[in-house]
Amino acid sequence: MATKTPEQINDDLLRPLSGISGRYALSAALLAGVAVAAFCAFFYQAYTGLGVSGLRWPVFWGFYITNFVFWIGLSHAGTLISAILRLSNATWRRPVTRCAEVITVFALSIGAMFPIIHLGRPWLAFWLFPYPSERRIWPNIHSPLLWDFFAINTYLIASVTFLLLPIIPDMALVRDRAAGLRKKIYRALALGWTGTPKQWHRLETAMHVMAIVVIPVAVSVHSIVSWDFAMAPVPMWHSTIFAPYFVCGAIFSGIAALLLAMALLRKFLHLEEYLLPIHFENLGKLLLVMSVLWFYFIFAERLTTWYGNSVGEMPVFWATQHGSYAPLFWTMMFCNFLIPVPILAIRKLRSITGTAIASFTIVIGMWLERFLIIVPSLSHKYLTYSWGTYRPTWVEITITAGTFSGLALLYMIFSKVVPIISIWELKVGLRQVPHSARIIVEPKEVGAD
């Protein structure tokens, strides 16, 4: 890659933006079909009522809240990881950051929809929003659900800003190579970028400020999501460990999603010369650390519950260890720890394929973990007369499948509109590579090609 000219780098990374292959069109159509089916299931539920879901007393949180927590956690893949890598000046991060930041925006947008889906009557969603009323009726500020509203919207605004700032120079580059209507669209997206030193200084300053701001915001978001549970007197929820436990799980699932996305982009967009084994190696090491840390939290939670031997909590504990939820619990343990740790700990196995396999199992395991936090506790809540079961219906399953296909579809569309690897950042990084020709352009030349 160091021997490529600036024009070759532009051609490689802008190639996915031109033309639509038959394979791309077929994949997009299949994903769009599943997403449309999910919308139809949602409208059917809104028209018929929440009774078409599997939510029954005493389990009033099921797939929808599981998906809410899962997607909010998955959103930590990008902005948080990218901000940390930027502030630590990890030079290998440059081809990775935009792949990560896109996941954050899309996953957060999808996750934010689930409280509205869960309402059953989505037209009443405004009750969640703080707004002035002539009756002076305001949402309850003591409710963690209101905290979610502020936290998620703050994180979404910060993440979108953090994603769009470094896109501006690349939009200018596409603008200068486009023609007709496409040129007009990218001219508007480039926001008048000409690559002057003043513009570069402002861009770098803004990105540095956003990187500092976004880290505490990201940590606070999943802490607040955890307090939705920890503030409730429900068996195995009322715990002070939930905030760091949820943040750890969010970063864990986020890195796994990022690695999986990178492996697919590398394969289908032919980015083998840019998404290198070193990127998977470094993120694989970080994923290994998070897997061990996640196991520590799980062990600490289970140990204190077992040792405390609380009458209210032990039915939930045994239901997940060798009861009706045991198959899901042990599948989660295999997916999150027993399978990925050997793969990621052995250097020969920590290849691109190995990290992709480990990441795939972790994404499955972390969804199961969110489900096991919610449903067993609600179905075994204190007195036995209040125990119950939960079985998802086709409506919940269809909506859940639609969110996964929706994320993939949005990612595919984004890769056709914006270079999925930041071209100007890559060129800045390659300037540091010793090469007799010194072919990499200065940042201010990007957009003038």
Q: Give the DSSP per-residue string, 58-81.
A: TB--SHHHHHHHHHHHHGGGTHHH
Residues ≥6 apart with Cβ < 8 Å to 222: 72, 73, 76, 243, 246, 247, 250
Higher pLDDT: 437 or 283? It is 283
Residue 48: CB atoms within 10 Å: 12
Amino acid 433: pLDDT: 45
Mean pLDDT score of the chain: 87
pLDDT at 356 over 90: yes
Q: Residue 97 — very low, low, confident or very high, per pLDDT cuts 50/70/90? A: confident
Residue with tokens 């199992």: 361
Q: How high is the pLDDT of residue 133?
A: 67
Least confident among 178-182, 270-274, 445-449:
445-449
Given this model, what pLDDT does residue 36 score? Answer: 96
Categorise residue 49: left if φ over 0, alpha if ψ from -120 to 50, beta otherwise. Answer: left
In terms of Cα–Cα distance, which of 84, 60, 83, 64 is closest to 72? 64
d(CA 258, CA 85) in angstroms, rounded, equals 14
3-state secondary structure of 241: coil
The encoded tokens of residue 38 equal: 């999910």
Place of tokens 């809410």: 68
What amino acid is encoded at 265 in this protein?
A: L
In this predicted model, what pLDDT tens digit does every residue of 23-57 receive, in sequence order? Answer: 889 999 999 999 999 999 999 999 999 999 999 88
State the alpha helices, DSSP H only, in 88-124: 97-119
End-to-end, the C-alpha distance of the chain in Å comes to: 19
> Quick one: residue 89, left, alpha or beta (phi over 0 = left, psi -120 to 50 = alpha)?
left
pTM of the model: 0.89
Asked if pLDDT for residue 115 goes beyond 70, the answer is yes
pLDDT in the model for residue 442: 37
**Residue 362 or residue 99, greater confidence:** 362
The band of 136, judged by pLDDT with boundaries at 50, 70 and 90, is: low
Instruction: Report pLDDT for 30.
Output: 96
CA distance 73 to 218: 10
DSSP letter string, 329-361:
HHHHHIIIIITHHHHHHSTTT-SHHHHHHHHHH
Helices (H), 142-241: 144-164, 168-177, 180-190, 197-230
CA triple 61-63-66, angle to 5 deg:
80
The band of 435, judged by pLDDT with boundaries at 50, 70 and 90, is: very low
The per-residue pLDDT for 13 is 86
When pLDDT is cut at 50, 70 and 90, the band that residue 135 belongs to is low
